Amino acid sequence: MPPQPAPNSPQPQPPPYPQPPPGQAWGPPPGAQVPPGATSYAGYGYGPQPAAAPRTMPGPWLWLALLGLVALLVGLSIKEDGSRGWSLEAWAGFAVVAALVVLTPLVGSALKLDERRAWMVAAIGFAGLALYWLLFVLPSISRNTSFLQTLAVGFAGLALWLAPGRPTPP
């Protein structure tokens, strides 16, 4: 057990805030001038703050991707010749997920993806949507619902082309 101090002996008190090294003082050097427009001395943790980056609206690629998703959902939901596109349960779900993946550039920073990587993920989503179209929509292209699903693939392709992060050709 550590030794206990005497009941009436003074106890060392820690300083209420950090102290500068002995012989030095914190703050600006003597005679420093406050820059115009600053509220205090810049470089010492006080002063003008950098302006916040302006918020920008997503470009037309977002609207095209959303139109593609809506066209796909409507095309899968309309009943034609006694069935809906949702009758292909797993493949219809695959197509919807692929259409959602095309929206990756919108949330890429939240997923810690840079623009180029987010675009690549969106390209994989578009490839999945195109595969669905090739396997299930193209064989029944004469149906009205096939037209909507074809529009969905076209909108998704245009959205991918216009999305940020697309590699530039050499």
* SS3 (DSSP) at 65: helix
Q: What is the mean pLDDT of residues 32-42?
A: 60
In a domain, 98, yes or no: yes
In a domain, 36, yes or no: no
Q: What is the pLDDT of residue 109?
A: 84
Q: How confident is the model at residue 155 (pLDDT cuts 50, 70, 90)?
A: very high
What average pLDDT does the structure give for the chain?
Answer: 82
Q: What is the mean pLDDT of residues 90-108?
A: 94
How far are the Cα atoms of 17, 33, 46, 51, 157 from residue 42, in angstroms, in the given order?
22, 10, 6, 15, 49
- Please give the residue range of the domain that contains residue 70: 60-162
Q: What is the mean pLDDT of residues 32-50?
A: 56
- Whether the pLDDT of residue 60 is over 60: the answer is yes
Q: How confident is the model at residue 89 (pLDDT cuts 50, 70, 90)?
A: confident
In a domain, 42, yes or no: no
Which tens digits make up the pLDDT trace of 116-134? 999 999 999 999 999 999 9
In a domain, 94, yes or no: yes
Percent of the chain with pLDDT over 70: 67
In a domain, 47, yes or no: no
Q: What is the pLDDT of residue 13?
A: 67
Q: What is the mean pLDDT of residues 85-98?
A: 92
Q: What is the mean pLDDT of residues 34-56?
A: 57
In a domain, 119, yes or no: yes
What is the rounded radius of gyration, in angstroms, for the C-alpha atoms of the chain? 31
The CA distance from 122 to 27, in Å, is 51
Question: In the chain, how many domains are there?
Answer: 1
In a domain, 170, yes or no: no
The pTM of the whole model exceeds 0.85: no
